[in-house]
Each structure stands twice: as structure tokens, then as C-alpha cells.
């Protein structure tokens, strides 16, 4: 029998956090529920990536030089997005 490191509740089969390696009850087993200090900040990067995806969905995807629709996002800045044509390699910027 163990104890939850967060609330002190007695637990027959405690859960071990994969980040801090401490033991918790069912209510506090998730890192966000026991305020895990060792949890990586992956969620911040995920939010940034989602924001970039929403930005790129609204972009003009046609190359201004050759007219090809085979283009890709090279960089996302605060105000502009750099695009590149995969057909002719032409690069251009457009507003976000």
C-alpha cells in the first residue's frame, strides 16, 4: 500500500508518473493534476504549430512566377510567411 504524493490518500495500487517518477492516486495520476514540475513543455510547441497551420490554411498557394500549385511554407514570421515553389524554386513572401 502506498500514498499519493499530492494529496496523501492511501492507495493500494498507486500510479507512477513517467516524468517525476513519484506515485499518485487515480485522481492525481496525470502530470497536470499533480502539478508535475518535471513535465516537458511540449504543449507550448503544439499550440505554436497549430497556430502556424491555421495561418498557412489561408495562404495563396499559387506560385506568382510559374503558376504552379506545388508550393510549400518555408518560414512563418510575425507578419509574413515565406513560400517556395517546388516546381521552379521561386521564393516569395506574403502577409499572414
Q: What is the residue range of 74's domain?
A: 60-96
Q: Are residues 53 and 75 in the same domain?
A: no
Residue 5 maps to a domain:
no
Q: What is the pLDDT of residues 50-94, one digit of tens each?
A: 666 655 566 778 899 998 888 888 888 888 888 898 999 999 898
Give the predicted TM-score (pTM) of the model. 0.43
Q: Which residue has the higher pLDDT, 40 or 4?
A: 4
Joined grid coordinates for residue 80: 509574413
Q: What is the pLDDT of residues 16-61, one digit of tens each?
A: 998 899 999 999 999 889 988 887 765 556 666 666 665 556 677 8
Q: Are residues 39 and 71 in the same domain?
A: no
Q: Are residues 91 and 66 in the same domain?
A: yes
CA–chain centroid gap for 46, Å, is 1
Q: Are residues 54 and 64 in the same domain?
A: no
Residue 89 maps to a domain:
yes
Per the CB < 8 A criterion, the answer to whether 49 and 42 are in contact is no
Q: In what order do the strands lie in the sheet with 91-95?
A: 71-76, 80-85, 91-95
Our CA angle for 85, 87, 90, nearest 5°, is 40
Domain count, the chain: 2
Q: Are residues 36 and 65 in the same domain?
A: no
Q: What's 74's DSSP letter?
A: E
Amino acid at each position: 500500500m502506498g500514498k499519493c504524493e499530492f494529496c496523501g490518500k492511501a492507495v493500494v495500487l498507486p500510479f507512477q508518473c513517467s516524468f517525476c517518477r513519484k506515485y499518485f492516486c487515480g485522481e492525481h495520476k496525470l502530470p497536470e493534476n499533480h502539478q508535475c514540475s518535471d513535465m516537458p513543455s511540449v504543449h507550448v510547441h503544439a499550440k505554436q504549430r497549430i497556430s502556424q497551420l491555421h495561418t498557412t490554411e489561408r495562404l495563396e498557394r499559387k506560385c506568382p512566377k510559374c503558376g504552379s500549385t506545388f508550393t510549400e511554407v518555408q518560414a512563418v514570421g510575425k507578419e509574413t510567411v515565406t513560400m517556395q515553389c517546388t516546381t521552379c524554386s521561386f521564393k516569395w513572401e506574403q502577409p499572414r
